[in-house]
Chain A
Amino acid sequence: DAGVIQSPRHEVTEMGQEVTLRCKPISGHDYLFWYRQTMMRGLELLIYFNNNVPIDDSGMPEDRFSAKMPNASFSTLKIQPSEPRDSAVYFCASSFRGAKGETQYFGPGTRLLVL
């Protein structure tokens, strides 16, 4: 398996522009997670899906952020409008619910810079 795939790997945009980040989870996984990582705050969970349904979005910073999962193999995280404080690395992760604690597998991340 190719693992979790994210695109783009790098994104530079100007304040006020819309940004869309994309994720393809590992085939067969039924959970998908979006994280944000910064030096100051570390790794933070933004939202997660189970079987394409959003379960917990309490980590989404504000209404400018939205996430969708139209099918089992694709998810997007959108920021509109973007602000400089959104600059961070955004990771997507996926897992399969087993009998015990599920291992999350991470993608390579999208490094976002908002000027």
Chain B
Amino acid sequence: EDQVTQSPEALRLQEGESSSLNCSYTVSGLRGLFWYRQDPGKGPEFLFTLYSAGEEKEKERLKATLTKKESFLHITAPKPEDSATYLCAVHSNAGNMLTFGGGTRLMVKP
């Protein structure tokens, strides 16, 4: 059974204070690992897909990296508008479904 664990559950940062969110996973053959951002009252918004260990993707202040066991979402010099819940999900070769982690709630204070 695929499993995804995200840590920490919540993270408070000062504006400009860089940090990383972790997504650990076990999966029977990784087809893709996805990062989503979710704002309160809205649906998850797609950020990145990573397919193989060593791959990296960047978008503005966010960079996602992938190893065989985990993925990191690095946030450089965050701003208050980066405050949201960040969700990680895996898509395995075993089926067509995504398995989501519990999310990390990020709060960036000015």
Contact = CB atoms under 8 A, between A and B. Distances in A.
B31 A101 contact: yes
A95 to B, nearest CB: 9
A81 to B, nearest CB: 27
Contacts of A103: 34, 46, 49
Contacts, number: 57
Interface residues of A, number: 24
- Which applies to chain A's interface (DSSP): helix, strand, loop or mixed? strand
Given A91-B43, A101-B32, A55 B49 contact: no
B53 interface: no
Contacts of A12: none
A101 B43 contact: no
B96 A48 contact: yes
Contacts of B98: 33, 45, 104
B91 A43 contact: no
A85 interface: no
A91 B36 CA distance: 14
A18 interface: no
Interface in A42-96: 42-43, 45, 48, 50, 55-56, 91, 93
Interface of A: 4, 31, 33, 42-43, 45, 48, 50, 55-56, 91, 93, 97, 100-109, 111
Given A56-B95, A106-B43, 20 more contacts: A42-B100, A42-B101, A42-B102, A43-B44, A43-B87, A45-B98, A56-B97, A91-B43, A91-B44, A93-B43, A100-B32, A101-B31, A101-B32, A102-B91, A103-B34, A104-B34, A104-B46, A106-B36, A106-B46, A109-B43
